Amino acid sequence: MGRTDILEEIKNAEVAANAKVEQAEADKKAAIAAARKESVQKIQDAEAQARSNYESAIAKEKDALVGKRDELLSGGKKAAADIDENIDAKLEKVKNFLNEEFERTLNVTS
């Protein structure tokens, strides 16, 4: 094997090594890009899940508050109805009392 053959083999080996290095760099860049894309997707999925959980919790609390509000309104309406009933009864007593006092005052002056 002559010197030119050896130099040619060295040159070919260097070219092959450079090609392997370039291929490795390309593979590395592709792997990094894929990992970044995957991490972005995971972040977006996690954010979507968090948003979904948040909206679900808010909806659940709104439902609970609507139930509590309805319960309080029902109690308030019942209390108002009771007050209305008591007012009618007490108003009749007040009228009778005022009539009696008015009549007593008239009887005293006559």
| Average confidence (pLDDT) over 66-76 | 94
Who contacts 79 (Cβ-Cβ below 8 Å, separation ≥6)? none
What 3-state class would DSSP assign to 7?
helix
Which residue has tokens 């009864």? 89
pLDDT at 56 over 80: yes
pTM attached to this predicted model = 0.53
In this predicted model, what pLDDT tens digit does every residue of 38-54 receive, in sequence order?
Answer: 999 999 999 999 999 99
pLDDT at 82 over 80: yes
